[in-house]
Structure 1
Amino acid sequence: AIQEQTIPLVLQSRDVVGTSQTGSGKTAAFVLPILQVLQPGSGIRALIVTPTRELARQIEEMALPLAERRGFRVLAVYGGVRIDGQIKRLRKGVDLLVATPGRLLDLKRRGNLDLSCVRFLVLDEADRMLDMGFWPDVRRIVQALPRERQNLLFSATMSRGVLSAIRDTLRNPVYVEVGASHTPVDTVEQVVLPVNQDQKTSLLVHYLTHHDPARTLVFCRTKMRADRVTHALEKQSVKVAAIHSDRDQRERQRALDGFRRGEFDVLVATDIVARGIDVEDISHVINYDVPESPDDYIHRIGRTARAGARGTAITLLSAEEGYLLKDIERQVDMTIERRDLEEFVYEERRIPLSNELPRRPGKLVYRGGAQRAAKFGMRHVKPRSRRRSAG
């Protein structure tokens, strides 16, 4: 496990880059050794920077019972809630601070944060921070810290962009990779349901109401679509909640807590909050939209089949998204099975059930009529006229 390989290195004062599959216990891999090394009551000694509020809360919730036993004070600070309460908590003293980049810099600018005693810097989900454009903020945070510190970086995936970005931050780091971080766990059954884009909502409703999956997470690419899908499910009496960055922190937490308690059977989410969703026993992940990067696909379906359990990941595939699935299959090194729902009434299919997928936009051609080409989302190319042979 990631903990077994990482904890001894942290205790040896080494900088570490840890990569492992989602749900493998990365948080404990840095929280446990930090609490073992530090002594409580001497200011902020450990700073954990993470991209989303949900992740910050998740780390705080996991660290609190471990820290309180040894007298450590833990606090998570993030946007979406009033800053005054966080300032009051900081004044009472904090040993381990979990923070999102924006709120951390805001507190620093206001003069409410003393980072001069930080001994550990942890960058959690660094690839997501890079994707979300937080890296300039991360650099400013690093510049505000003491030079003599230990740096730990953890993520489920590690891109070249991240490795390039962290080169100046880490000092002779040890790289630890547990499992193939670019592939999902083996206990996830992956399925593709080809369907017209305008039938996706109907197919989703049909699946949820006829197959009755236990606890389902539905991912949409945009906030607007997440809300639209949520409303469509509510109309069919599905117990559903939505979580995305336009919802305030109270709404997001209420939705997440309700999903955990079983008040909602379905949670609709966007990628930006995906990594903060830590809910046990998610049986199904459904990609309403094919994710735009293979890493996002892996993170999405990593919400199910945790701790050795089994799970199902279903991707609704329209013809326009075929090239995205091709990229995903290349990274996970497998052809994902295509299926039809036998009892669902499909319109004229825009994409075949076979594994033949269209290429990237701009190269899709259709040699039939112009109107039909437009319906298929393809570029129209006039068929060449055949020359008749003489005689």
Structure 2
Amino acid sequence: MQENAQIEETQIEEPTITFDSLGLKPEILKSVKFAGFTVPSPIQEQAIPVVLAGRDMVGQAHTGTGKTAAFSLPALNNMKLDGSVELLVITPTRELTTQVSDEIFKYGRNLGVKTVTVYGGSSYKRQLDLIGRGASVVVATPGRMLDILKRGMLNNFAPSMVVLDEADEMLDMGFLDDINEIFSYLPTKRQTLLFSATMPQPIKTLAAKILKDPEFISITKGETTNTDIEQLYYVIDEHERDDAIIRLMDSEGTKKAVVFCRTKSEVDRLSNVLSNAGYLANGLHGDMEQRQRETVIKGFKNDSIKVLVATDVAARGIHVNNIEHVFNYHIPFDPESYVHRIGRTGRAGTKGKAITLLTPLEFKELQRIKKKVGTSMEHAFVPSKTDLRTTTIDKIVTNIENQKIYDEAHTVIEKLRDDIDEETIMFKLISMILDKQDIKGPSNIGIPADKLVAILERASKRNDNNRRGGRGGYRGNNNRNRSGGNRSRSNSSRDGGGYRGNRSSSNRNRNRD
């Protein structure tokens, strides 16, 4: 009993450091609180004062530690917002570029900050035009950024802060020469930050070359994912996602879960799908009113909502200890998001399970996450209807054994005996129970084992060939409806990316969270 009391006291103890105490502007604190954050992570607690002071910095921290906020919050705080590009962030992949841009936009939205994403595959003219409209932040991949600088396409491009994010991954992808060359085009008077999960010698050499008297901050931990979390992945076809997640929830006997989606419209649609399938599901994303968000979170905590369908950012402020399952409707864009997501389960010494759905084309991203996070993820097959019916029968047997017998049951049996023998009565009653066990979806879901190996081999080769492709985009304040879905994402790919600026005439939707 004394031990429990001590734990309770530890849980309610006030933190010594909060975002309010770090000296950030009220507009930034408002965005931070809207995202659900109150206490900075260790890397944020140590890095933010250093960056605010204008010093160069090397930050060594594993994925999932909040590095983006560690540099973006103080960078936004120090901006002059004079219409020029003040912050350049270089990331290894187009997926991470988009995510970092979205996160910076959310933190800076109350300041009117505009961000542009720049990566290969789209029109140079469009990207340069978006930058020229007053962007304060450019988030770019090394190849396209170097190409733009070498061609002299940007006039007066002199960011006062440059951030290298996931430097060790850029080294692994062969971008080190590009990085060195990019810095030859940047002003020598600048603040430079370098973040890396590991510090191999080439990264140390790069840091010594591009940073001036940097502060070194190291946040390391023995493991990045909880060993109490069982991690599984299922390879399916794209059109099977809804059927797969319902089948897995049914087979797992899911009682309390978080389902992560990439977009707001996907959250709304999937929460309706799961509700129609009989689950007490509701959605949570950044476009909801604060009162509505609070109602959903309260319902999830008090069990009136059993399945929370959410975007990454919306779910980060949720701390509930009895979540049994985390489902990744799509594989997350980067390892950091994966760690954040699955960390919702397996809390307070309980066991949890993290389940990820992916197509063969996404298998390369899975391998990258496994390598980066150093986690163990096992492949499994979605149960068939036959498999699930067998499990259902076992549950029915258990329920019958534990069923309380009511006095009225005797009356029903006596009436039935007039026309039906007892054995037939028993069969009919059990058949009534089986009729109510509706197993939704097709008989088989997912790619069978005999086809999977060949498909994954082909997909891996395609991903290697397409690794550096992509398009750029713009994030700034605007009046457009950002409630589109996968179609909006496809449209932005065709025209070179999304726009968040003061362009009320635009009719295209954007729904990144």
TM-score by length of 1: 0.54
Q: Say if 2:58 and 2:207, in contact at 8 Å, map to a contact too.
A: no
Give the corresponding residue for 1:304.
341
Tell me the secondary structure at the aligned position of residue 341 of structure 2: coil
> Structure 1 CA distance, aligned partners of 2:382 and 2:133?
58
Q: Which residue of the other structure, out of 181, 186, 199, is the alignment partner of 1:159?
A: 199
Tell me the secondary structure at the aligned position of residue 210 of structure 1: helix
Q: Say if 2:146 and 2:178, in contact at 8 Å, map to a contact too.
A: yes
Q: Say if 1:78 and 1:100, in contact at 8 Å, map to a contact too.
A: yes
Give the corresponding residue for 1:183.
223
> Structure 1 CA distance, aligned partners of 2:378 and 2:44?
34
Tell me the secondary structure at the aligned position of residue 130 of structure 2: helix
Q: 1:67 to 1:342 in 2, by over 3 A?
A: closer
Shift of 1:111: 2.9
For residues 200-247 of structure 1, give each alpha carbon's deviation from its aligned partner in whole angstroms, at most 9, with x where no partner exists.
Answer: xxxx99867733776678xxxxxxxxxxxxxxxxxxxxxxx9xxxxxx
Q: Say if 1:115 and 1:145, in contact at 8 Å, map to a contact too.
A: no
Tell me the secondary structure at the aligned position of residue 33 of structure 1: helix
- 1 or 2, which has the higher strand percentage? 1
> Structure 2 CA distance, aligned partners of 1:54 and 1:188?
29
Give the corresponding residue for 1:375.
none
Give the corresponding residue for 2:77.
36
Q: 1:159-308 to 2 correspondence within 5 Å? A: 159-160=199-200, 161-180=202-221, 183-186=223-226, 189-190=229-230, 210-211=251-252, 260-261=267-268, 263=270, 278=312, 283-284=326-327, 301-306=338-343
Give the corresponding residue for 1:15.
56
For residues 71-116 of structure 1, give each alpha carbon's deviation from its aligned partner in whole angstroms, at most 9, with x where no partner exists.
Answer: 4432222224433322211222322211111221232244322464
> Structure 1 CA distance, aligned partners of 2:100 and 2:87?
13
> Structure 2 CA distance, aligned partners of 1:164 and 1:278?
35
The reply on whether 1:93 has 2:134 as its aligned counterpart is yes
> Structure 1 CA distance, aligned partners of 2:269 and 2:258?
8
The reply on whether 1:77 has 2:114 as its aligned counterpart is no
Q: Say if 1:304 and 1:312, in contact at 8 Å, map to a contact too.
A: no
Q: Say if 1:50 and 1:125, in contact at 8 Å, map to a contact too.
A: yes
Question: Which stretch of the first structure deviates more once superposed, 10-19 or 105-114?
Answer: 105-114
Shift of 1:279: 6.4
For residues 109-134 of structure 1, give each alpha carbon's deviation from its aligned partner in whole angstroms, at most 9, with x where no partner exists.
Answer: 44322464221110112122112222
Task: State the number of aligned residues.
Answer: 269
Q: 1:86 to 1:212 in 2, by over 3 A?
A: farther
For residues 324-358 of structure 1, give each alpha carbon's deviation from its aligned partner in whole angstroms, at most 9, with x where no partner exists.
Answer: x9xx99x96x999999999999xxxxxxxxxxxxx
Q: Say if 2:159 and 2:190, in contact at 8 Å, map to a contact too.
A: yes
Look up the equivalent residue of 1:75 and give its one-letter code: V
Question: Which stretch of the first structure deviates more once superposed, 21-30 or 8-17?
Answer: 21-30
Shift of 1:12: 2.0
Tell me the secondary structure at the aligned position of residue 60 of structure 2: strand
Give the corresponding residue for 1:232.
none
Shift of 1:14: 1.7
The reply on whether 1:52 has 2:90 as its aligned counterpart is no
Give the corresponding residue for 1:132.
173
> Structure 2 CA distance, aligned partners of 1:340 and 1:94?
46
For residues 245-281 of structure 1, give each alpha carbon's deviation from its aligned partner in whole angstroms, at most 9, with x where no partner exists.
Answer: xxxxxxxxxx76665555499xxxxxxxxxxx95665
Tell me the secondary structure at the aligned position of residue 168 of structure 1: helix
> Structure 2 CA distance, aligned partners of 1:95 and 1:138?
21
- 1 or 2, which has the higher helix percentage? 2
Tell me the secondary structure at the aligned position of residue 59 of structure 2: strand
> Structure 1 CA distance, aligned partners of 2:214 and 2:383?
53
> Structure 1 CA distance, aligned partners of 2:220 and 2:268?
31
Look up the equivalent residue of 1:283 and give its one-letter code: V
Shift of 1:145: 0.7
> Structure 1 CA distance, aligned partners of 2:381 and 2:136?
54
Q: 1:78 to 1:216 in 2, by over 3 A?
A: same
* Identity within the alignment, %: 32
> Structure 2 CA distance, aligned partners of 1:340 and 1:61?
34
Q: 1:308 to 1:342 in 2, by over 3 A?
A: closer
For residues 181-209 of structure 1, give each alpha carbon's deviation from its aligned partner in whole angstroms, at most 9, with x where no partner exists.
Answer: x512438614589xxxxxxxxxx998677
Q: Say if 1:191 and 1:339, in contact at 8 Å, map to a contact too.
A: no
Q: Which protein shows a greater Rg?
A: 2
> Structure 2 CA distance, aligned partners of 1:49 and 1:167?
18
Q: 1:18 to 1:279 in 2, by over 3 A?
A: same
Q: Say if 1:50 and 1:100, in contact at 8 Å, map to a contact too.
A: yes
Q: 1:58 to 1:339 in 2, by over 3 A?
A: closer
Shift of 1:48: 0.7
Look up the equivalent residue of 1:124 and give its one-letter code: D
Q: Which residue of the other structure, out of 147, 152, 155, is the alignment partner of 1:111?
A: 152
Q: Say if 2:58 and 2:216, in contact at 8 Å, map to a contact too.
A: yes
Shift of 1:10: 0.9
Structure 2, unaligned runs of 5 or more: 1-40, 234-243, 274-310, 316-324, 357-366, 388-513
Q: Say if 1:284 and 1:313, in contact at 8 Å, map to a contact too.
A: yes
> Structure 2 CA distance, aligned partners of 1:302 and 1:145?
34
> Structure 2 CA distance, aligned partners of 1:139 and 1:258?
40
Structure 1, unaligned runs of 5 or more: 194-203, 218-240, 242-254, 266-276, 289-295, 316-324, 346-391
